[in-house]
Every structure is written in C-alpha cells, then in structure tokens.
C-alpha cells in the first residue's frame, strides 16, 4: 500500500492490459487458425510451436509463453527492495527487536512470493474471462490448466525472488540491489559459458542461472512440466542460503 507499491501495481495492470488485448488475444487467433504468425515462429523452434498448437485452449498457451519471459523481469523489479531500504533507514534494527534476522529475511521472501502469487492469479483470472467470452464450455478444462500454470509460474519465480533476497541483503537501495543482480547474472553467464567451451564434459553448467528450465518447459505440457521442478527448487535453496549468510554477517 506504499506509493511505490501502488505505482508498481498500476504499471503491472497497464502492461498486462496491453498484453491481454494485443498479445494473448491476437496471437490466440493465429493458433486457432493453425497458422502462427511469423514473429512467433521466428522466436521458437518447430517442436515448441507444435506443442503450443496442441493445447486445447490457445489463450492459455500464449499466456504461458508470455509469462515465462515477462514475469521474471517484473519479479526482479518488484522484489528488489526486500531489506535494502530498511537497512539504509536503520529500521532493520527496530524490526530486530521483535523478530530474528532469519524471521525478517525469510518473512520478506515469503511476503514477496505471496504478492507474486496474487498477481499471477489476477492475470490468470483475466485470461480465463477472455477464454469464457469465446467459449463458456471450456471453463472446467481452462480451470484445470490454469492451476497447472499457476504452480509452474510460482516455481519459475522462486529463484528470481531468492536472488533478489540475497542481493537486497547486501544493498542499501532497490536500484543498487538490481545492479548487483545484473552484475551477478552477467558474470555467471560469462564464466559458465567459458567453462562450457573449455570443459565440454562438465554437467549442469547451463542450469546455474534462474530460468534455465524455461526452454524445456516450452516443450512440455500438463503436469509433465513439473518434471523440471527440481531445478528452480535447488536454485532457490542455494540462493536463500547465500542470502541468509549475508544477512547473519551484515552489520546493521
């Protein structure tokens, strides 16, 4: 309910309205006609396109693709200030009088995930309205598929939120936390890319960064998507461990 929070919600609502009206609705028409547009084809290979075209509800197929790429960006911007501004204002000391450092750190992380859950739920509900306006008989299958997408999108956002919890424990502002996240992302990308080229036999280097499972998710459907759930869960555990270490050692 802060000014910054309300502005973030307004920005999300406006962006999502444009996505819903011009991206999801428009692209779904192409899928229903069995003729995806050139832009869609240029971004994905034939396996992904064929998988998306097999979905019973094209609106949710397009929703799935857009959210896999759009929501992580919004997540980084929204969750950057978990403890940073409190550290700069000195209010972490006040919070520590009634809560442990772990309580503050993990409480903020869970709070951000709750906010993201509500935003995803609202986005899904608006997409469901679009589906029902076209065909009300799709309510039950759309509801079932929406639950699958909700679970998967929360899993996708877990490591991004954990990453921002870690960098926020080192920063004094949301902007600085975002900058730290970008630097860590670029450095890890360069290092893992170099190691992969020098040591092709090393396994798992392409799975270090959050979002590494997205390309695989696009080739799956239904509950099969949860076969990749282990990756964001492991990433989240590692990042939260690093963030907790930083939180415990930092001087407030």
Q: What is the pLDDT of residue 251?
A: 67
Beta carbons within 10 angstroms of residue 231's beta carbon: 20
* Each residue's pLDDT tens digit, 159-187: 999 999 999 988 888 889 999 999 998 99
Mean pLDDT throughout 187-201? Answer: 83
DSSP state of 200: T
pLDDT per position as a tens digit, 99-156: 888 899 999 999 999 999 999 999 999 999 888 888 888 899 999 999 999 999 999 9
pLDDT at 88: 80
- CB distance 104 to 95 below 8 Å: yes
- Binned at pLDDT 50, 70 and 90, residue 38 comes out as very low
Secondary structure of the chain: what % helix, strand, coil (to 5)?
A: 80, 0, 20
Comparing 48 with 78, which gets the higher pLDDT? 78
Beta-carbon neighbour count of residue 2 at 10 Å?
8
pLDDT, the chain, mean? 84
pLDDT of 40: 52
Highest mean pLDDT among 20-24, 146-150, 223-227: 146-150
Q: Tell me which of 24-33, 70-79, 226-235 is least confident.
A: 24-33
In the prediction, which pLDDT does 39 show?
Answer: 46
Largest pairwise CA distance in the chain: 61
């Amino acid at each position: 309910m802060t000014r910054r929070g309300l502005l973030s919600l307004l920005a999300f609502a406006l962006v999502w309205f444009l996505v819903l009206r011009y991206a999801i609705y428009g692209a779904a028409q192409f899928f229903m006609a069995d003729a995806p547009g050139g832009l869609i084809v240029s971004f994905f290979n034939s396996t992904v396109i064929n998988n998306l075209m097999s979905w019973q509800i094209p609106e949710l197929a397009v929703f799935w693709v857009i959210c896999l790429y759009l929501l992580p960006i919004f997540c980084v911007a929204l969750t950057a200030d978990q403890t940073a501004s409190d550290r700069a204002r000195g209010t972490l000391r006040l919070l520590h009088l009634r809560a442990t450092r772990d309580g503050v750190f993990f409480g903020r992380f869970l709070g951000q995930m709750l906010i993201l859950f509500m935003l995803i739920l609202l986005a899904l509900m608006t997409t469901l309205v679009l589906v029902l306006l076209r065909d009300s008989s799709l309510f039950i299958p759309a509801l079932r598929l929406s639950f699958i997408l909700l679970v998967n999108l929360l899993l996708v956002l877990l490591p991004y939120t954990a990453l921002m919890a870690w960098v926020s424990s080192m920063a004094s502002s949301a902007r600085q936390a975002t900058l730290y996240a970008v630097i860590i992302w670029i450095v890890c990308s360069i290092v893992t890319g170099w190691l992969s080229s020098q040591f092709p036999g090393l396994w798992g280097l392409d799975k270090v960064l959050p979002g590494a499972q997205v390309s695989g998710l696009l080739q799956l459907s239904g509950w099969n998507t949860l076969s990749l759930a282990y990756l964001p869960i492991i990433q989240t555990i590692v990042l939260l461990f690093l963030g907790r270490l930083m939180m415990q050692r930092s001087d407030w």
